Every structure is written in structure tokens, then in C-alpha cells.
Amino acid sequence: AIATRDPVEAGLEQLTTILRASTAAIAVRDSDHTFAVVANHDSVPTERTVGVPADSAPIEANAVATISTEADTTDAAVLLRQLGGRAGLAIPLSGDPIGTGYILLIDRLGASDHFKPDEVQLFSSLATNLASRISAVDLLNRLELQARTDALTGLANRTAIEAELERRLDDDTSTGTVLMLDLDRFKDVNDSLGHQFGDALLQLIADRLQDHLREDDLAGRLGGDEFAIVLDTQHQPDLDRHLASLTQRLTAPAEIQGVTLETGCSIGVTAWPTDSTNGVELLRFADIAMYEAKRTHQTWVRYTPSIDHASADRLALLGQIRQAIT
């Protein structure tokens, strides 16, 4: 169940069902004296924040503890009381990356409210598997985030940009714009001042992009000094204003390590569904428009099929020149 569903919800449900308990809970320590608790009351998970006294002691690690409301001063017993329980079991979330805490089983149903030795052993096994699953889910979430994030700038990477485009293009009513941005003379910065300086410049540009984005926009670094932006607008007057504002923001003088730079940029613009409804193709069109902007010394160029043909012609001419030289 915990492998195929949300591990917290499924785990709490299974613990109460298999071990015939009134309530199961997962408590994760927020601070020294506060826990975030998800408790399964009547099969409905509820969330709350629970405080514990400063003198409450943690229970022993890697072992199941029997807890009660009678003269028990551990933090797990305090949590038990806060959740309305009389007696129960607790096991630490030892080694879990989301923080120190407990899995709790509260109030055995039936003639006796105390859990039997075989039930304690079963709880230990089930709770350990649940804790491992919660750790695995957290780890997978972090790995997925890393796989979609550019390590240097913290922006989305090419994979994330392509995935976001495909997500938006799945909606037949969706419209939007893709911008491809390249910094002018970035190689000169790297060659003259070093790659460390170049990396700092890229991080500064990324921060400026993030500050300029609206809620539904996404910016990413595709590699080197190339950035892509997915915009939620295609209306030309709005787009012109956005491009003017973005260009002004990006080309403002920047001071890095005591050196003041004025950076230029070239921007290629393409739109869906006007130009294409394919994410990879849209990125290619934006790239073609960007190089046309760089070639013609314009700040931005909107993609048209004519510049695409010109690009193909130039590539063909380049191949012919190489053959001629040979």
C-alpha cells in the first residue's frame, strides 16, 4: 500500500487497521519544542502543530517504546496526550532526511488498551518499512528537483523547460511565447577575467531574470550563456512592453568583484500556436531568431520562416565554401 499510494496516508491507514488501534500518527520535529503531526483520526488524516515542554526527553533510538499518560515525561508521551490518547507505542524516525520524529500508535481497540508483545514486534517491522518509504520519497523528490535544475544558477534546465512547454502545449487553448536569450561578448568576459567571473555574471543574470518573471513564467539556463523563458503572453503590445522592460533590466550596469560591466543581449522570439505546437521545434525557432538578432545587431527578432530558410542557406553556403577551399 505504501509503495503505490501516498506513504503517509496509506501508512497511517494500514497501521490502524492491521494493529487495531484507535489512531496512528507521524510526528516530525519542527524545532526543539515543536512537532508537526499528521494523525489518522477515524481514517481521515489531520495535520496540526504540537508543542512539548523543554524538559521532555526523547525516547531511545532504534527501539519501540511503550508510552502512556501515567508519569511518562518523554516527548512521545506528551504527543500521545496532546492527541487524546491513553497508551500506545512509539518508534523514532531515525536517520530520516525530513527530520527527527516518531511514528506513533495510539490506544489499542478491544478489551485491553495495551499492545501485546507480538503486536509490538509487528509494529516495529511495519513502522520501519514506513519510515524507509518516507525517506525514499523525500530522496526521490530531491533527486527529481536536481534533475530539473541548473546547478550554477538555480534556474530550470533544458529538460524542465521542454517538459513545461509540452505540458502547456497539451492544452489546445493555450497560447504563449518562448524567448531565447544569449549574452553578447560573454566569451570575452571569460577569456579576460576568468571562468569564476563568468559564473558570477551568469548567476547575476539569473537573479535578474527571476526578479522579472511573473507568476506563470518560467526561466531556464540551457547551457553556456543561453537562457530560455516561457511566457504566458502572446499579445504583441504586451510582449513589446515586456521585452523592453526585460532588456533594460538585463543590460543595466553590473558590478562583480569590483568590476563594472555593461552586458548586452540578443533575444529570439517565437510563439505558439502561431509558429508551432511542438516544444522542441519552438526552442529551435527561438534559437534561429536569436542568432538573427545577433547577426543583425538587433536587441530582439521575431521568428519568421524567411529567416529559417536564410539560416539553411547560410549552412549550405558554408559547406560549399569549405569544399571550394579544399
User: Which residues carry out catalysis?
Assistant: 225
- Enumerate the β-bridge partners of residue 232: none
Query: Which one-letter amino acid corresponds to residue 232?
Result: D
| Positions of E strands within the chain | 21-31, 34-41, 44-51, 65-68, 87-92, 101-108, 176-183, 218-223, 226-231, 254-256, 259-261, 265-272, 300-302
Q: Cα 248 to chain center, whole Å?
A: 29
Q: Are 51 and 33 in contact (CB under 8 A)?
A: yes
Round to whole Å and give the CA distance between 74 and 57.
5
Closest CA to 303 of 210, 132, 180: 180
